[in-house]
Amino acid sequence: MSKTNKIFINIYTSSIFLFLLSGCSFDLVNYENLSNKNFQLVFSENIPNKFQNKIRATISSDNSKKTSESNTIKVSEFMMSTYDVFAGKALRSLEVEVKSSVMISISINKKTINKKLNTMKRYSSSELNILAEDEMLDFIRNEIYDEFVNQLIFEVGLIEM
């Protein structure tokens, strides 16, 4: 192998390494943006209490400050619906699909973003009895709340960039 081929291969591999090092960077979900700032949380009447508590536990809020330049997160228009999927001659549904959506409005430093968050979960209900199906629905509901909170954190991070 000639000396120019070795130099070319070294340059080629080092450039690929630098590209992979810089191109594969990722950012973890960061709670620092939420804990360093105080947010005024505003919920509409149809937001479930469990969902409100999950948001309050994640986001530091100081609702005693009512300044016009306050960072505000408004959560409204919560909707959750279930859809039973039947197949064949079954008397009960084989699967249950749970769809949910919520509208958020985030205001930080005079920047405002309005977004509708959607999520859908499915679970098999054919092997479950009635009580287990209720517990599974409660578990899915908590999973949806967690997913909405993670999406909310992501949106707050995006608006601060």
Q: What is the pLDDT of residues 16-71, one digit of tens each?
A: 766 665 655 555 545 554 555 677 888 999 999 999 898 888 876 655 555 445 68
What pLDDT is stored for residue 85 in this prediction? 76
- Residue 103 CA to residue 65 CA, distance in Å, equals 24
Residue with tokens 């306050």: 70
Mean pLDDT of the region 9-21:
70
- How many other CB atoms are there within 10 angstroms of residue 150's CB atom? 13
Go through the domains of the chain in sequence order and give each one's CATH number.
Answer: 29-160 (3.30.160.150)
* pTM tops 0.85, yes or no: no
> At 35, which helix (H) or strand (E)?
helix 32-36
**Which has more pLDDT, 111 or 97?**
97
Which 3 state secondary structure label does DSSP give 89? coil
- Residue 110 CA to residue 68 CA, distance in Å, equals 10
Which tokens sit at 52? 């409100």
Closest C-alpha among 148, 73, 75 to residue 107: 73
